[in-house]
Amino acid sequence: MFEHLQALPADPILNLMVQYRRDNNPHKVDLGVGVYKDEQGHTGIMHAVTAAETHLLATETTKTYIGPAGAEGFNYHISRLLLGNDHSAIKDQRITVAQTPGGCGALRMAAEFTAKCSPDATVWVSDPTWANHIPLLKGAGLNITEYPYYDGETKGIRFDAMCSALETAKAGDLVLLHGCCHNPSGADLSKVQWDAIAELLIRKNLIPFVDIAYQGLGDGLAEDAYGVRLLADKAPEMLIASSCSKNFGLYRERTGSVMVIAPNQQQAAVTASNLFSIIRGHYSMPPAHGAAIVETILGNAELTKSWDDELTLMRTRILQLRHQLANEMVVTGCAQDFSFIPQQKGMFSFLGINKQQVGQLRDEYSIYMVDSSRINIAGLSAQNLSYVAQSLSSVLKG
């Protein structure tokens, strides 16, 4: 049966890691895949994570199965980290939480759950959105359509066009929103815009589906959760996919969670049984280790503080790099305006250059980024910043 298969292209983002590794230029710079890096370009393990792992190794007594929902303690803490301790959806027991293999696992389980409830629903995604959203949603058989989002001219959000498009959605459609730190654009909704979107979604009977993979890397843990908390309070039904890959640095441990909010406690019980049945049919139950680390950290005040402090340093470093890049571009005498970079949030921004210029930066300067000109800000450092700015400026001057 294999003879009918055709070779498929590799994931363009993950493939950049392979290309970068093969490059022998000592000045090479990796602004590709979205992983946090320190000043030395290293993606290290957070101190609280190492402490939690040490503790787990000393105290863990079993590796027995945990069940489709994963660890109860993790689910307890992660839902409160996201929604806050006193959120109405938690108090009213309207929420089902399941630990998943990363944010991708959460997105796929949310998509499979949607396909079971409402196979004809359309999921509206931002133009552009994270490339992986498409296969994760389509793989569950869902229809996808785009709403306008990023404006390459103003470097902001096409908010009026976004609202006009969503006004045409049919009742019961889902709207996928990035909770914070929009991937790939870094352009986030303001609080006023979240308020307006919440009003529109409720009025039109559209179901919010929030993907939040960067909580704490934009403005702060609570600030970044403004939209998701608002919607979870107002919407009768909602889906959330959250990831611990970036804010706990647990990438390969595959740690995330899917949350389903139902209109009332009775419906939540039915929802839970269906969600767990879908999970059983896919991977039976999630891997334990990453979630045990998060549970250990969030269940201990000292470790939580250490984690929060380190996350704050990461967020601050990213913001400083945003300012430094914009300033450095002025220093190079580049005519193009990069003052939008410090206005955007999280790990990504588009430089706004074309594919050929991206290719030139890669081939002539060994600076790697996604073809769309999305850069991972955390890949910049004091060592490479002026090299990147000078190279970009040269390419722009033609």
Q: Which residues bind ligand PLP (CB under 6 A)?
A: 34, 102-104, 130, 178, 183, 211, 213, 243, 245, 251, 256
Site pattern 253..282 for ligand TYF (x: CB under 6 A): ------------------------------
Distance of closest approach, residue 352 Cβ to ligand PLP, in angstroms: 20
Cα gap 109→275, rounded to integer Å: 8
Pick from 183, 306, 384, 391 the residue near ligand TYF by CB under 6 A: 183
Distance of closest approach, residue 57 Cβ to ligand TYF, in angstroms: 28
Site for ligand TYF in 112-141 (CB under 6 A): 130, 132
Binding partner of residue 95 among ligand TYF, ligand PLP, none, CB under 5 to 8 Å per kind?
A: none
Is position 378 an interface residue for ligand TYF (rule: CB under 6 A)?
A: no
- Pairing relationship of beta strands 256-261 and 95-100 according to DSSP bridges: antiparallel
- Give the number of other Cβ atoms within 10 Å of residue 53's Cβ: 16
Binding partner of residue 13 among ligand PLP, ligand TYF, none, CB under 5 to 8 Å per kind?
A: ligand TYF
Distance of closest approach, residue 259 Cβ to ligand PLP, in angstroms: 14
For the chain, what is the HEC assignment? CHHHCCCCCCCHHHHHHHHHHHCCCCCCEECCCCCCCCCCCCCCCCHHHHHHHHHHHHHCCCCCCCCCCCCHHHHHHHHHHHHCCCCHHHHCCCEEEEEECHHHHHHHHHHHHHHHHCCCCEEEEEECCCCCHHHHHHCCCCEEEEEECECCCCCCECHHHHHHHHHCCCCCCEEEEECCCCCCCCCCCCHHHHHHHHHHHHHCCCEEEEEECCCCCCCCCCHHHHHHHHHHHHCCCEEEEEECCCCCCCHHHCCEEEEEECCCHHHHHHHHHHHHHHHHHHCCCCCCHHHHHHHHHHCCHHHHHHHHHHHHHHHHHHHHHHHHHHHHHHHCCCCCCCCCHHHCCCCEEECCCCHHHHHHHHHHHCEECCCCCEEEHHHCCCCCHHHHHHHHHHHHHC
Distance of closest approach, residue 171 Cβ to ligand TYF, in angstroms: 31
Distance of closest approach, residue 223 Cβ to ligand PLP, in angstroms: 18
Distance of closest approach, residue 16 Cβ to ligand TYF, in angstroms: 9
Pick from 20, 28, 31, 33 the residue near ligand TYF by CB under 6 A: 33
Sign, CA torsion 67/135/270/261: positive
Residue of 28, 37, 155, 246 marked active site: 246
Distance of closest approach, residue 90 Cβ to ligand TYF, in angstroms: 28
Only segment of 10-18, 116-124, 188-196, 201-209 that touches ligand TYF (CB under 6 A): 10-18
User: Considering beta carbons, is residue 94 or 133 the nearer one to ligand PLP?
Assistant: 133
User: Considering beta carbons, is residue 13 or 210 the nearer one to ligand TYF?
Assistant: 13
Cα gap 127→187, rounded to integer Å: 12
Cα gap 359→181, rounded to integer Å: 26
160 is catalytic: no
Only segment of 8-16, 93-101, 158-166, 360-368 that touches ligand TYF (CB under 6 A): 8-16
Binding partner of residue 33 among ligand TYF, ligand PLP, none, CB under 5 to 8 Å per kind?
A: ligand TYF
246 is catalytic: yes
User: Considering beta carbons, is residue 243 or 324 the nearer one to ligand PLP?
Assistant: 243
User: Considering beta carbons, is residue 303 or 347 the nearer one to ligand TYF?
Assistant: 347
Is position 306 an interface residue for ligand TYF (rule: CB under 6 A)?
A: no
Residue of 124, 130, 194, 307 marked active site: 130
Residue of 173, 188, 211, 224 marked active site: 211
- Catalytic sites, residue numbers: 130, 211, 246
Residues in touch with ligand TYF (CB under 6 A): 11, 13-14, 33-34, 130, 132, 183
